[in-house]
Structure 1
């Protein structure tokens, strides 16, 4: 009888899925430009972000129970230890599954992402053949499989534009990775990429002020006549 791994994310099938997800999203993330990016993952072994030449510095954190480990340490119930609009790219690599507060982490990711920045989310699809296997292998740990459509709806409500949403990975955990029609429809994982809308600045409308003409009927040389006179 096969034994469950100490960490589901260290298992060979999930590691292959992580590779498939990285390959699927990297072309779209190549356009990201900025000084800082944030990766929130599930283990230090999977803390290698995609190679994006136009991004400066990556900060890596891992979800472990109710805490964040990695480059910075923090409690998950205290939020991410960053100021608003700090990153041009935030990558949640299966992090919404592993955290005990997925809604809070998503809100924090939205908060620390700069307007115009990109949020990328990966995970195991709950409506796939992977779901029963995933729950069995992770028995005893609190893991939440998130429906991509719900994530997309929440992001749209938060002012995001969805740029990519697709199924990736093998149909079965024991399968061999290959990009086929069945993968597009029944792949075990998903990738969602969304861009945060920039803040709209509403220009002030200047109202003309009626000009009072002196009793003499003459104006100073620097005064221009207009239709409001």
Structure 2
């Protein structure tokens, strides 16, 4: 089974299962209150992230990708530095521990921002940078030849804010955190209308709704 040696070399099976339960508890309220057609689930291979439902509150289609080394595997295959989807593709995005696998998270966060719809949520799960098991986890990962870049949820929130996201929630439970960010919707744009010369509207019949009045600017 691909990914299981990675899991057992860094986290014991019992720890991995406990992590899965914690993440499922943190994510559940937001899965129930998110809606849309397509959702994207990204997780680091072997860490046994929370098992997400096939559909939740109208989220009828999940695309799932596992980050294994330098590539994504799952519904599609691609290099780790890019997501092979069009702009504004997903109404919800869940990323579990994938940012811990890259030394430079800014490029991946830019991709997360690109593929999410305006108004969509991004849910990030990871290990907190400050917890009693952080040093142990990093040492185990180093001995296994795996990257393990622990960052604070606040630092990741600031990176997402630079791409037009607002923070909804930052929650910690045990050694894990959940960061919930929402992509701001585009503001209304005012069109620049050209002013017609005086007298152009004079004598012109302009249809109006019942009960309305018809006036021409002078």
Report 1:74-153 matches (<5 A). 74-77=78-81, 79-99=82-102, 101-139=104-142, 140-153=145-158
Normalised to the residue count of structure 1, the TM-score between the two structures is 0.78
Distance 1:138 1:227 in 2: 73
* 1:161 counterpart residue number: 166
Detail structure 1 runs of 4+ shifted over 3 Å in the superposition: 4-7, 44-47, 205-210, 219-227
Structure 1 alignment gaps of length 5 or more: 170-187, 214-218
**What is the aligned counterpart of 2:76 among 72, 75, 87?**
72
* 1:58 counterpart residue number: 62
Spell out, residue by residue over 1:68-110, the C-alpha distance to the aligned partner (whole angstroms, 9 max, x if none): 1112111113x11111111111111011112455322211111
**Across the two proteins, how many residue pairs are aligned to each other?**
201
Q: More displaced, 219-228 or 61-70? A: 219-228
**What is the aligned counterpart of 2:31 among 7, 29, 36?**
29
Normalised to the residue count of structure 2, the TM-score between the two structures is 0.81
User: CA-atom RMSD, angstroms?
Assistant: 2.5
Task: Answer with 1 or 2: which has the greater Rg.
Answer: 1
Name the SS of the counterpart of 2:85 in structure 1.
coil
* 1:201 counterpart residue number: 188
Distance 2:59 2:163 in 1: 24
Give the 3 Å change call, closer, same or farther, for CA 221–144 of structure 1 in structure 2.
closer
Name the SS of the counterpart of 1:49 in structure 2.
coil
Name the SS of the counterpart of 2:156 in structure 1.
helix
Structure 2 alignment gaps of length 5 or more: 1-5, 207-213
Name the SS of the counterpart of 1:34 in structure 2.
coil
**What is the aligned counterpart of 1:39 among 26, 38, 41?**
41
